[in-house]
Chains A and B, each alone.
Chain A
Amino acid sequence: MSRPRSKRFLSREGRELRRELLIAPEPELGLVAMNGPGDPEPSLEVKDGRIVEIDGRSEAEFDVLDHFVARHGIDLEAAREAAGLDDAELARRLVDVDVPRADLVCLSRGLTPARLARIAGLLDPVELMFALKKLRARRRPANQAHVTNLKENPALLAADAAEAAARGFAELETTVGVSRYAPLNAMAILVGSQTGRPGVMTQCAIEERRSLALAIQGLTTYAETLSVYGTEPVFVDGDDSPWSKAFLASAYASRGIKVRFTSGGGSEALMGHAQGCSMLYLEARCLAVIRAAGSQGVQNGSISCVALVLSVPAGTRAILAENVLAAWLDLEVASGNDAIASHSPTRRAGKLMGQFLPGTDFVTSGYSVMPREDNMFGGGNYDADDLDEWLTLQRDWQVDAGIEPLSEERTVAVRERAARAVQAVFGAFGFPPVSEEEIEAATYGRDSGDLPDRDRAADVQAGDRVLAERISGLDVARELDRRGFTDVAEAVLGMQRQRVAADYLQTSAVIGPDGQVESAVNDPNRYGGPGTGYRLEGERWSKLQRLPHVVPARSLDGGVANGAPPLLAELGVAAREEGVEDVVIAVGPAFGGALRETIAGLAHADVLAALVEGVREVGGRPRVVRVRRVSDVAFIGHDGAQLSGSGVAVGLQSKGTALIHRSDLQPLDNLELFGMAPLLTLESYRAIGRNAAGYALGRRVGPVPTRLDNFARAKLIVRTTLLHARETAAIVPGAPPVELELTTGV
Chain B
Amino acid sequence: MDFDPARDYPLGTRRPDLVTTPGGIPLADLTLAAVREGTLEAEEMRATPETLRRQADVARAAGRPELAANLERAAELASVPADDILAIYTALRPHRSSAAELEGWAGRLEAAGAPAAAAFVREAAEVYAQRGLLAREPAAV
Chain A interfacial positions (CB closer than 8 Å to B): 62-64, 67-68, 71-73, 75, 102, 105-106, 208-209, 212-213, 216-218, 232, 235-236, 239-241, 243-244, 246-256, 291-296, 330, 470, 472-475, 477-478, 481, 486, 489-490, 493, 496-503, 505-507, 515-517, 519-522
Interface hits, B50-100 → A, CB 8 Å? 51-52, 55, 58-59, 62-71, 73-78, 80, 82, 85-86, 88-89, 92-95
Q: What are the 9 tightest A-B residue pairs by CB atom distance, in nearest-first order?
A: A294-B70, A501-B12, A472-B42, A253-B74, A243-B124, A254-B77, A244-B92, A250-B73, A503-B10
Task: Report which of A254, A256, A502, A503 forms a contact with B85, defined as CB distance below 8 A.
Answer: A254
Q: How far is the CB of A522 from chain B (nearest CB, A)?
A: 6
CA of A147 to CA of B133 in the docked complex: distance in angstroms? 38
Q: How far is the CB of A89 from chain B (nearest CB, A)?
A: 22
Interface hits, B25-46 → A, CB 8 Å? 27, 30-32, 35-36, 40-42, 44-46
CA of A497 to CA of B28 in the docked complex: distance in angstroms? 9
Whether the pair B12, A517 counts as a contact (CB closer than 8 A) is yes
| A–B Cβ pairs within 8 angstroms, 14 of them | A232-B131, A243-B128, A251-B77, A254-B52, A255-B47, A256-B52, A481-B32, A497-B30, A499-B45, A500-B12, A500-B27, A502-B11, A505-B55, A506-B9
Q: How far is the CB of B13 from chain A (nearest CB, A)?
A: 6
Whether the pair B133, A236 counts as a contact (CB closer than 8 A) is yes
Task: Report which of B31, B51, B92, B93 forms a contact with A501, defined as CB distance below 8 A.
Answer: B51
Q: How far is the CB of B131 from chain A (nearest CB, A)?
A: 5
Q: Does B139 contact A (CB under 8 A)?
A: no
Q: How far is the CB of B43 from chain A (nearest CB, A)?
A: 9
Given A67-B131, A102-B63, A250-B74, A502-B55 contact (CB < 8 Å): yes
Report which residue of A75, A295, A500, A521 has the largest number of chain B beta carbons within 10 angstroms of its beta carbon: A500
Task: Report which of A71, A212, A474, A490 forms a contact with B82, defined as CB distance below 8 A.
Answer: A212
Whether the pair A253, B71 counts as a contact (CB closer than 8 A) is yes
Return the chain A residue nearest B91 by Cβ. Answer: A244
Residues of A within 8 A of B80 (CB): 254
Return the chain A residue nearest B73 by Cβ. Answer: A250
Whether the pair B30, A105 counts as a contact (CB closer than 8 A) is no
Residues of B within 8 A of A253 (CB): 52, 70-71, 73-74
Residues of B within 8 A of A472 (CB): 42, 45
Given A239-B93, A294-B71, A502-B51, A521-B58 contact (CB < 8 Å): yes
Whether the pair B94, A236 counts as a contact (CB closer than 8 A) is yes
Residues of A within 8 A of B117 (CB): 247, 250
CA of A520 to CA of B62 in the docked complex: distance in angstroms? 9
Given A208-B89, A497-B27, A502-B51, A256-B46 contact (CB < 8 Å): yes
Whether the pair B93, A240 counts as a contact (CB closer than 8 A) is yes
Whether the pair A499, B46 counts as a contact (CB closer than 8 A) is yes
Q: How far is the CB of B84 from chain A (nearest CB, A)?
A: 10
Residues of B within 8 A of A293 (CB): 66, 70
Chain B interfacial positions (CB closer than 8 Å to A): 9-13, 16, 19-21, 27, 30-32, 35-36, 40-42, 44-47, 51-52, 55, 58-59, 62-71, 73-78, 80, 82, 85-86, 88-89, 92-95, 117, 120-121, 123-124, 127-128, 130-131, 133
CA of A179 to CA of B98 in the docked complex: distance in angstroms? 31
CA of A217 to CA of B45 in the docked complex: distance in angstroms? 9
CA of A216 to CA of B88 in the docked complex: distance in angstroms? 17
Residues of A within 8 A of B128 (CB): 64, 241, 243
Residues of A within 8 A of B133 (CB): 64, 236, 241
Known contacts A253-B74, A516-B13; 9 further A-B pairs (Cβ under 8 A): A63-B131, A71-B123, A250-B77, A254-B74, A330-B63, A500-B44, A502-B55, A515-B13, A521-B10
Whether the pair B42, A474 counts as a contact (CB closer than 8 A) is yes
Task: Report which of A213, A244, A481 forms a contact with B35, defined as CB distance below 8 A.
Answer: A481
Return the chain A residue nearest B9 by Cβ. Answer: A521
Given A212-B86, A493-B32, A503-B12, A294-B92 contact (CB < 8 Å): no
Task: Report which of B9, B12, B73, B123 forms a contact with A515, defined as CB distance below 8 A.
Answer: B12
Return the chain B residue nearest A106 by Cβ. Answer: B63
Given A294-B67, A500-B21, A239-B94 contact (CB < 8 Å): yes
Residues of A within 8 A of B64 (CB): 296, 330, 507
Q: How far is the CB of B23 from chain A (nearest CB, A)?
A: 11
Task: Report which of A241, A246, A250 forms a contact with B94, defined as CB distance below 8 A.
Answer: A241
Residues of A within 8 A of B131 (CB): 63-64, 67, 232
Given A64-B131, A516-B10, A255-B42 contact (CB < 8 Å): no
Return the chain B residue nearest A213 by Cβ. Answer: B82
Residues of A within 8 A of B12 (CB): 497-498, 500-501, 503, 515, 517
Whether the pair A506, B58 counts as a contact (CB closer than 8 A) is yes
Whether the pair B32, A490 counts as a contact (CB closer than 8 A) is yes
Residues of B within 8 A of A67 (CB): 127, 130-131
CA of A236 to CA of B45 in the docked complex: distance in angstroms? 35
Return the chain B residue nearest A208 by Cβ. Answer: B89
CA of A644 to CA of B93 in the docked complex: distance in angstroms? 94
Return the chain A residue nearest B71 by Cβ. Answer: A253
Return the chain B residue nearest A495 by Cβ. Answer: B45
Whether the pair A489, B32 counts as a contact (CB closer than 8 A) is yes
Residues of A within 8 A of B71 (CB): 250, 253, 294, 505
Q: How far is the CB of A78 from chain B (nearest CB, A)?
A: 11
Whether the pair B19, A500 counts as a contact (CB closer than 8 A) is yes
Whether the pair A503, B124 counts as a contact (CB closer than 8 A) is no
Return the chain B residue nearest A475 by Cβ. Answer: B42
Residues of B within 8 A of A503 (CB): 9-12, 55
Return the chain B residue nearest A481 by Cβ. Answer: B32
CA of A478 to CA of B133 in the docked complex: distance in angstroms? 47
CA of A254 to CA of B80 in the docked complex: distance in angstroms? 9
CA of A500 to CA of B11 in the docked complex: distance in angstroms? 10
Residues of A within 8 A of B130 (CB): 62, 67
Residues of B within 8 A of A212 (CB): 82, 85-86
Residues of A within 8 A of B40 (CB): 474
Return the chain B residue nearest A102 by Cβ. Answer: B63
Given A296-B67, A505-B71, A500-B45 contact (CB < 8 Å): yes
Whether the pair B94, A218 counts as a contact (CB closer than 8 A) is no
CA of A743 to CA of B36 in the docked complex: distance in angstroms? 84
Whether the pair B69, A72 counts as a contact (CB closer than 8 A) is yes
Residues of B within 8 A of A499 (CB): 45-47
Whether the pair A247, B86 counts as a contact (CB closer than 8 A) is no
Return the chain B residue nearest A72 by Cβ. Answer: B66
Whether the pair B35, A474 counts as a contact (CB closer than 8 A) is yes
CA of A482 to CA of B131 in the docked complex: distance in angstroms? 57
Q: How far is the CB of B67 from chain A (nearest CB, A)?
A: 5
CA of A601 to CA of B139 in the docked complex: distance in angstroms? 83
